Amino acid sequence: MKPKKAPSSADAWDIPACEALIRDLWALRESMLRNEVRLASWLRQADATHTASATNLAHYLALRRHDLRSLQEQLARMGLSSLGRAETHVLANLDKVLGILHRLTGRPWTALSHDEPTGSQSGPARLDRHAQALFGAVPRERSVRIMVTLPSDAAHDDDLVNDLVATGMDIARINCAHDGAAEWAAMARSVRRAARKLERPVRVLMDLGGPKLRTGPIAGSPEVARLKPTKDAFGRVTAPARLGLRPHGSTAVLPDAAFCVGVDAAWLAEVDEDSRIQLTDARLAQRRLKVLERQPEGVLVECMQTAYLTPDTVLRLRRRHAHDLQTRITDLPARSGALLLHRGDRLQVVPEGMGHGPLAARKGQPAAPATIACTLPEALAQVRKGERIWFDDGRIGGIVRRQVAGRLEVEITHARNEGEKLLADKGINLPDTRLELPALSAKDLQDLEVVAQCADLVGLSFAQSAADIVLLRQRLKELDAAHLGLVIKVETQRGFEHLPEMLLAAMAGPGAGVMIARGDLAVECGYERLAEIQEEILWACEAAHVPVVWATQVLETLAKTGLPSRAEITDAAMSERAECVMLNKGPHILDAIRTLDDILRRMQSHQSKKRPLLRALKAWSSLPEPVEAAEAVPASP
């Protein structure tokens, strides 16, 4: 019997199905090349280090215009790449699949590498190089950097900064929305000293405040400060309350003081470590202050009992051989009032502070007395009736019912049953409003002069278009700081929608990255959409070989309370897909850094971007012998 001829590779497959896939993939390839031509003017502007990356992004954007789910399923059934993990080398991956299908069907195939800007190895390598150029070298045993927002104390507490660097901080973030130029410069110097001392490369990111809408001051809160010692469960004092005394008008900070107040400079000069200071507080309670030490900035004192201080409080310096000296205290820490808002309440948002009366009442309805200011009055004029408004990271929400001369009347629609307190300096989001605001405010332009001198990286807050990127690049060039890395913060719906053009604009310079600012982004786009938007940003940035910062509320509960939630541990594990993860400040920030470091080290052996890594699972490497049925059933008594 004549033996049967062994089937060719083509005979082993559904040839018509393969040919249909070839047609679909060629059409997809042609759309990628057409998009490359369409975006040619953008690609020509790219810096030489980003030309191939910008071209790959153009190909990726063309790929994602199509619903590829059916095509992916057919490719997967044949054991071929389904194009689902090809962000860094889109065209090369498609060509690889096309080549295999041609071979299966017996068609000739010629390599098309001349069209491919990046390959399966060069694409990820480009992303790694860009991340290293922007964020610095990756630390030993961890492929993701850790960024930490510095607290105000970092301006004068070198030990704190040393601890942050020693524990694993790779990038120090200075938030220019808080403190001032002197404090920022002091923070940067402290970071540089600690990095040199510990021989760890640490970069400094200075984050511009941007056109952030915030609530203004709220009148009605009494000017009072509480000095309160720490007590145990039995009411015993475990740590006295510490107060800083400094001359009237001084802004100096005394380390270890809960807060500082102003006193007469001549009175303060008479205080020494043997002095006795007495006061009668706002409740007419008699209190004593013990002098701990004199410092260049003032005097540190402590109190064993709770005291309420007001501008009427008088400090009496008791002297044995002379008359007592007295001084009133000033410069109490600013306190703001609060508005308690319930669903159905009316709130007026006004542009110039508290000097306005309520809007005229509509017929049959009383005027709403609750009024609050907005720090960016020009934004209110762009809001329209029926649009949504959110306060304090989405804790309070409402609908704009009227807009009169740039003043809004808002009906509160989102609040807890017991109501929500709205404080001063809380964020305002207008997700339905197309705000036309420059990404660089007048303050930002001024702050850039300090950034140019102190920072390695600059964060552009509330970036919404390519024009914002170009403006920042121009300003940095004028300041001889064109070498600074740029981090684009995506935190609005419009910023997300314009991400591709912002990426292309950013690639005109030497170094750029993207921060997924998930706090404002969740409020703007809706919490239910945050997960998918986060994924899309990660994919687009990977296609552009642009490193990403995973930011906002990572291990937030741990940093603030010392105990993490289960959900935030999972979130921290997923952050391994970014090139950098940001932690916010908190009293337990060192614990948060250690925990994140441990999680990132563990996860990097399981996950690389979207690709799972099949590391040996040692926990399941051995199993006991199977239990016989007779052994599994207890014997009858």
Task: Tell me: do 307 and 418 sit in the same domain.
Answer: no
**Residue 380 domain-assigned?**
yes
Nearest to 574 by CA among 60, 144, 57: 144
Task: Tell me: do 460 and 584 sit in the same domain.
Answer: yes
pLDDT band at 485 (very low <50, low <70, confident <90, very high): very high
Which tens digits make up the pLDDT trace of 546-570?
999 999 999 999 999 999 999 999 9
pLDDT band at 419 (very low <50, low <70, confident <90, very high): very high
Task: Tell me: do 460 and 602 sit in the same domain.
Answer: yes
List C-alpha distances in Å: 248 to 251, 317, 381: 9, 17, 40
- The predicted pLDDT at position 355 comes to 41
- Identify the residue whose tokens are 């018509």: 16
Task: Tell me: do 324 and 280 sit in the same domain.
Answer: yes
Task: Tell me: do 537 and 592 sit in the same domain.
Answer: yes
With the C-alpha atoms ordered 469, 144, 149, 296, is the resulting torsion angle positive or negative? negative
Show which of 429, 450, 478 is a domain's final residue.
Answer: 429
- pLDDT at 289 > cutoff 50: yes
**Residue 461 domain-assigned?**
yes
Range 2-25 average pLDDT:
70
| Rounded Cα gap, residues 75 and 80, in angstroms | 5
Show which of 274, 293, 328 is a domain's final residue.
Answer: 328
Task: Tell me: do 70 and 138 sit in the same domain.
Answer: no
With the C-alpha atoms ordered 513, 518, 523, 529, is the resulting torsion angle positive or negative? positive
- The predicted pLDDT at position 367 comes to 45
- Tell me how many domains the chain contains: 4
| Rounded Cα gap, residues 406 and 350, in angstroms | 7
CATH number of the CATH domain containing 423: 2.40.33.10
Which tens digits make up the pLDDT trace of 269-288?
999 888 889 999 999 999 99
**Residue 3 domain-assigned?**
no
Residue 92 CB contacts under 8 Å (≥ 6 apart), including other chains: 86, 113, 116, 118, 119, 120, 123
Which tens digits make up the pLDDT trace of 197-239?
999 999 999 999 998 888 988 765 667 889 999 988 888 899 9
CATH number of the CATH domain containing 446: 3.20.20.60
Judge whether 486 and 513 are in contact, CB under 8 Å. Answer: yes
For residue 152, give both structure tokens.
Answer: 């105000």
**Residue 132 domain-assigned?**
yes
- The predicted pLDDT at position 131 comes to 96
Task: Tell me: do 461 and 598 sit in the same domain.
Answer: yes
Which tens digits make up the pLDDT trace of 296-329?
889 999 999 999 999 999 999 987 767 889 999 9
**Residue 220 domain-assigned?**
no
Of 216-220, 426-430, 494-498, 565-569, minimum mean pLDDT range: 216-220
Task: Tell me: do 166 and 84 sit in the same domain.
Answer: no
Domain residues for the domain of 420 are: 338-429
With the C-alpha atoms ordered 585, 591, 597, 598, is the resulting torsion angle positive or negative? negative
DSSP 286-349: EEEEEEEEEETTEEEEEESS-EEE-TT-EEEEE-TTS--EEEE-B-PPP---EEEE-TT-EEEE
Task: Tell me: do 352 and 280 sit in the same domain.
Answer: no
pLDDT band at 504 (very low <50, low <70, confident <90, very high): very high
Q: Write the single-letter amino acid at 32.
A: M
**Residue 234 domain-assigned?**
yes
Which tens digits make up the pLDDT trace of 70-121?
999 999 988 899 998 899 999 999 999 999 999 989 999 998 999 999 999 9
Q: Three-state DSSP class for 508? A: coil
**Residue 472 domain-assigned?**
yes
Which residue did the predictor score with more confidence, 138 or 335?
Answer: 138
Task: Tell me: do 139 and 232 sit in the same domain.
Answer: no
- The predicted pLDDT at position 3 comes to 47
Range 328-347 average pLDDT:
87
- The predicted pLDDT at position 615 comes to 64
- The predicted pLDDT at position 588 comes to 94
Judge whether 413 and 343 are in contact, CB under 8 Å. Answer: yes
Task: Tell me: do 359 and 406 sit in the same domain.
Answer: yes
**Residue 239 domain-assigned?**
yes
CATH number of the CATH domain containing 315: 2.40.33
Average pLDDT, the chain: 89
Task: Tell me: do 545 and 605 sit in the same domain.
Answer: yes
Quick one: CA torsion of 604, 609, 612, 615, rounded to 10 degrees?
-20
- The predicted pLDDT at position 360 comes to 43
Phi and psi of 349, rounded to 5°? -110, 115
Residue 35 CB contacts under 8 Å (≥ 6 apart), including other chains: 58, 59, 61, 62
Show which of 120, 140, 157 is a domain's final residue.
Answer: 120
